[in-house]
Amino acid sequence: MSTAKRRGRPPRRPAAAAAAAAAAEPSVVSETSAVEDTADNEVGETVGEQTFDLPSISATDIFLGQSYTFHSEIPSIVRDDPTASITLGVDEAGRGPVLGPMVYGIAYCLTDYEKSLSKKGFDDSKKLTAQVRSDLLQEICTAETELHANVGWAVRVMSARDISAGMLRPAGVGAYNLNAQAHDTTMNLIDEVLKKGVNVKEIFVDTVGPAATYQAKLQRRFPSTKVTVSKKADSLYPSVSVASICAKVTRDFALEEYFKLVSGSEPAPNTGSGYPSDPKTGIYLKGSMDSLFGWGPETRFSWSTAADMLKKDAEVVDWPDNDDEGNGDIGAFMSASAAGNDIKHWFGKPVAAAEL
User: What are the tens digits of pLDDT across the range 84-98?
Assistant: 999 999 999 999 999
Of residues 344 and 79, more confidently modeled: 79
Is 190 in contact with 200 (CB distance < 8 Å)?
Answer: yes
158 lies in some domain: yes
For residue 323, pLDDT over 70 is answered with no
Is 276 in contact with 49 (CB distance < 8 Å)?
Answer: no
Tens digit of pLDDT for each residue in 188-215? Answer: 999 999 999 999 999 999 998 899 999 9
154 lies in some domain: yes
Q: What is the domain range of residue 105?
A: 3-313
| Helices within the chain (DSSP H only) | 16-22, 26-29, 59-64, 76-79, 111-114, 116-119, 130-141, 146-150, 160-167, 178-195, 211-221, 233-236, 238-263, 279-288, 304-313, 336-344
178: CATH: 3.30.420.10
327 lies in some domain: no
For residue 38, pLDDT over 90 is answered with no
By mean pLDDT, which of 167-181, 209-223, 326-340 is the weakest?
326-340
200 lies in some domain: yes
354 lies in some domain: no
Number of domains in the chain: 1
229 lies in some domain: yes
- Name the 3-class secondary structure at 105: strand
> How confident is the model at residue 315, as a pLDDT?
87
329 lies in some domain: no
Nearest to 65 by CA among 33, 104, 17: 17
171 lies in some domain: yes
| pLDDT grade for 112, boundaries at 50, 70 and 90 | very high
| pLDDT grade for 319, boundaries at 50, 70 and 90 | low
What is the pLDDT of the chain when averaged over all its residues? 83
Is 306 in contact with 297 (CB distance < 8 Å)?
Answer: no
| pLDDT grade for 322, boundaries at 50, 70 and 90 | low
Q: How many residues does the chain have?
A: 356
